[in-house]
Amino acid sequence: MNTHLSYIKKLTILGTKTLFKCYLLAILSTILYLIVGYLLLRSNADGAFFSMTGSIKTVGKFLWLIGLILLPILLFLFSNKYVFSTVASKVVEERQDDLIIPALDRVLLVFQSNQPDLIQNAGDYTFAKLKLINEVKNTRIENPWIKRIVVFGLNKISFDSLDLDNNNNFYDIVKSKFIAVLDMLTEADNRPFWICIAIQWLIILFIWFAGSDASLIGQ
């Protein structure tokens, strides 16, 4: 029990530290984006932010405003996804066989005892999968990270006509496909987060170049 609690604590610390780093970077980048962008746009408009003329400058202001609204939201969304993928990849690498698979087996055992054995079409497969996911959410799994990983894996499972043609057992299919999905979690991917950061500063560069070009034309 102590080992189990210490592992939950370890995962929580990892998730908290990763989330803090991502949030801190996102907040700092967004604040600088706001300040630098505003100052550039104000200087480009000769001190009057809302009176800026010129098509290129207008495009720059429009991009800056869209980025100011949309990019922070995306940064926080991608931060949360990265935190989950970081923790999940660690659990998959370290404890897949003794934590994740047994948790899935327990849920499948309970679910199977309450469901008919015959699943005849793709609609039955999909409906059974949704009921299974709901069963996981209502099942008491001690480690909340394990529950999230199981739900994620089940959501990623898809069924095709080959599953029906082979008349495979639903529970065998779920388990084999679930294990295959876990391979997706072996590497945490933070590229979407960094792409959003890059877009912020590409917009700033565009505004700066737009102001520089306008100054040269004016001369």
**Tens-digit pLDDT profile for residues 142-163:** 788 888 888 888 888 876 655 5
The full 3-state SS of 12-61, as one line of letters, equals HHHHHHHHHHHHHHHHHHHHHHHHHHHHHHHHHCCCCHHHCCCHHHHHHH
pLDDT of residue 177: 82
Q: How many CB atoms lie within 10 A of CB 153?
A: 24
What's the token pair of residue 172?
Answer: 């065998």
The residue behind tokens 């996981």 is 136
Q: Does residue 93 have a pLDDT over 90?
A: no
Q: Does residue 72 have a pLDDT over 70?
A: yes
More confident residue, 219 or 4: 4
pTM exceeding the 0.85 threshold for the entire prediction: no
**Residues of the chain above pLDDT 90, percent:** 30
Contacts of 185 (CB under 8 A, 6+ apart): 85, 88, 89, 92, 149, 152, 153
Contact assessment for residue 26 and residue 75, using Cβ atoms and an 8 Å cutoff = yes
Quick one: pLDDT band at residue 217, thresholds 50, 70, 90? very low
**Can you tell me the distance from the alpha carbon of 36 to that of 40, in angstroms, rounded to the nearest whole number?**
6
Residue 119, exposed/middle/buried by CB under 10 A (0-12, 13-18, 19+)? buried
Q: What is the mean pLDDT of residues 174-191?
A: 81
pLDDT of residue 161: 53
> Considering the chain, what is the average pLDDT of its residues?
80
